[in-house]
């Protein structure tokens, strides 16, 4: 299990508000060579703005989840 919390300050010149983001990752060993991994990103909000300006469309980065099966040999 691991994770992180990230904070970005407001970017006035680009009209981007400050935001905080939390990510988490869990890995479970199923067999000697097989693991299941679950990752969640941007868990604090449904989305946050990465950048914006008069000439750039506001981009919302959504909350996301990812599940993987990993075979190591």
- pLDDT (tens digit, 9 = 90+) per residue, 31-46? 999 999 999 999 999 9
Residue linked to tokens 């981009």: 59
Q: What is the pLDDT of residue 30?
A: 96
* Spatial distance between the Cα atoms of 36 and 49, rounded to a whole number of angstroms: 31
Which carries the bigger pLDDT value, residue 56 or residue 21? Answer: 21
Average pLDDT, the chain: 89
pLDDT for 52 equals: 61
Q: Which residue has the tokens 């990993």?
A: 70
């Amino acid at each position: 299990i691991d994770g992180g919390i990230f904070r970005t300050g407001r970017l006035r010149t680009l009209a981007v508000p400050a935001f905080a983001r939390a990510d988490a990752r869990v890995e479970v060993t199923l067999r000697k060579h097989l693991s299941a991994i679950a990752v969640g990103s941007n868990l604090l909000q449904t989305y946050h703005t990465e950048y914006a300006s008069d000439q750039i469309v506001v981009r919302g980065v959504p909350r996301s989840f990812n599940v993987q099966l990993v075979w190591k040999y």
